[in-house]
Amino acid sequence: QCSPETISQMESIFVQNFSQNQALAPMCLHSAFHDCWNGCNGALFMPEEIDRPENAGLPPLKPYLMPFTSQFPCISVADLINSCAVTALKFLNGPDVPVYYGRLDRNVPDPTGLIPEPTMSLSALIAAFNAIGFSKEDVVTLSGAHSVGVCHGVPMCPGHNTSFGNHYYQELIEGDLSGKLPTDVELLEDNTMRSLVQQYASDNSQFFSDFSRVFGKYISRIHCNQTSTGPCPLEDIGDSTTSTSTSSTTTSSSGIPVVSSTSSSTSSSPIIIGSPIVISGSSSSSSSSSSSSLFPPVPPISGPISNPPSNPGGPIIAA
Ligand code: HEM
Ligand SMILES: [Ca+2]
């Protein structure tokens, strides 16, 4: 297990890299959502998992984060993902989220088809979260993560997507639906959920404290067969994931609909704006050939941003 000093060393590397590439911090936050759905176990980066359509947008994170495990052998992949996520949240001006270290990695991919699809109905979305112990209010809270980042290159909160905050809820209320997912817009369909959207829209500190609590709970979800000092709320699932959940529904892979205009019409085809893959030539520095993959080509956020992404030209991994 890493010392607090090592953890903070890692976090300062994250922060340095976040400021060099705008796409990175939202990706880290997104990755914790995906790794922890079936338990924070690092399996997200297994080859069988990362390339699944449900993980679209996340593959560039793997070659960025994995080298940390050789630089800092004390950290598990699962802890690395969560460390990056909570550091990202702070970097993006979001709240502090309690995080502990000591998760163990699992060498079996999680079942496919568990992560909620952006096209699912509100009732299916609520049911999916209920099944893992989260209320419909929690769905409203967690969805606020879409105040940052992009969906297939489209800013989720255009003009505001580099800062975590309640502008997401304000845009929903105001009917400014550009860049929103169908599941975002659906939060207005249910009275209870809509009133929480309204509360958050007018009270950022309530949003922050709820997000900190609910996301903190979410990233503490590990399996009980992992010897960890942290919370352990999930049942032991053993280590033989047979082909369970055959979930036929992996369809929407390439076609995630994003609400494109301020009207409520959804476009039937995916909107992919610009966002060319910029290869950050890891030009100079540290001889080793592997260093070129340390900072991967992550797509820049298109649309208005406060702070243009600069080409990092290679990783900054402090010795
Ligand atoms: C409620 C169900 C959710 C659905 C259906 C959903 C779906 C999606 C989709 C389709 C994307 C776009 C990925 C791409 O670029 O192709 C996305 C992005 C993102 N999601 Fe979610 N999400 C959900 C909940 C969450 C939660 C709970 C979090 C974290 C707390 C989260 C964090 C993010 C972030 C930060 C991004 C931006 C990623 C980036 O900029 O690279 N999402 N989500
Ligand atoms: Ca996982």
Does the residue 226 lie in any domain? yes
Does the residue 190 lie in any domain? yes
25 lines ligand 1 (CB under 6 A): no
CATH code (residue 145): 1.10.420.10
Task: Tokens for 163, please give them.
Answer: 């800062």
Does the residue 278 lie in any domain? yes
Atom 8 (ligand 1) nearest CA: 118
Q: pLDDT tens string for the chain (319 positions)?
A: 799 999 999 999 999 999 999 999 999 999 999 999 998 999 999 999 999 999 999 999 999 999 999 999 999 999 999 999 999 999 999 999 988 888 889 889 999 999 999 999 999 999 999 999 999 999 999 999 999 999 999 999 999 999 999 999 999 999 999 999 999 999 999 999 999 999 999 999 999 999 999 999 999 988 766 555 556 667 654 543 332 232 222 233 335 667 653 333 322 222 111 222 222 222 223 333 333 333 443 444 333 333 323 323 333 443 3
End-to-end CA distance of the chain: 19
Which atom belonging to ligand 1 lies closest to the Cα atom of 58?
41
Does the residue 311 lie in any domain? yes
Q: What is the pLDDT of residue 88?
A: 98
Q: What is the CA radius of gyration of the chain?
A: 19
Number of Cβ within 10 Å of residue 227's Cβ equals 8
Cβ burial, residue 119 (10 Å; 0-12/13-18/19+): middle
223 beta partners: 234
Does the residue 137 lie in any domain? yes
Residue for token pair 């067969």: 225
DSSP codes of every residue in 225-254: TS--SS---BPP-TT---S----TTGGGGG
Query: What domain range includes position 158?
Result: 1-243+254-319
36 lines ligand 1 (CB under 6 A): no
- The structural domain count of the chain equals 1
Is the separation of the CB atoms in 20 and 300 below 8 Å? no
Does the residue 248 lie in any domain? no
Is the separation of the CB atoms in 78 and 103 below 8 Å? yes
Type and span of the H or E element at 154: strand 154-155
155 lines ligand 1 (CB under 6 A): no
> CA-CA distance, 194 to 163, in Å (whole number)?
23
Does the residue 135 lie in any domain? yes
The alpha helices in the chain, defined as continuous H runs, are 4-20, 24-36, 47-50, 61-71, 77-91, 122-131, 136-143, 167-174, 182-185, 191-202, 204-218
Q: What is the pLDDT of residue 30?
A: 98
Cβ burial, residue 238 (10 Å; 0-12/13-18/19+): exposed
DSSP codes of every residue in 86-121: HHHHHHTT-------------SSPPPTT-SPPTT--
Is 34 catalytic? The answer is yes
Q: What is the pLDDT of residue 3?
A: 92
Does the residue 157 lie in any domain? yes
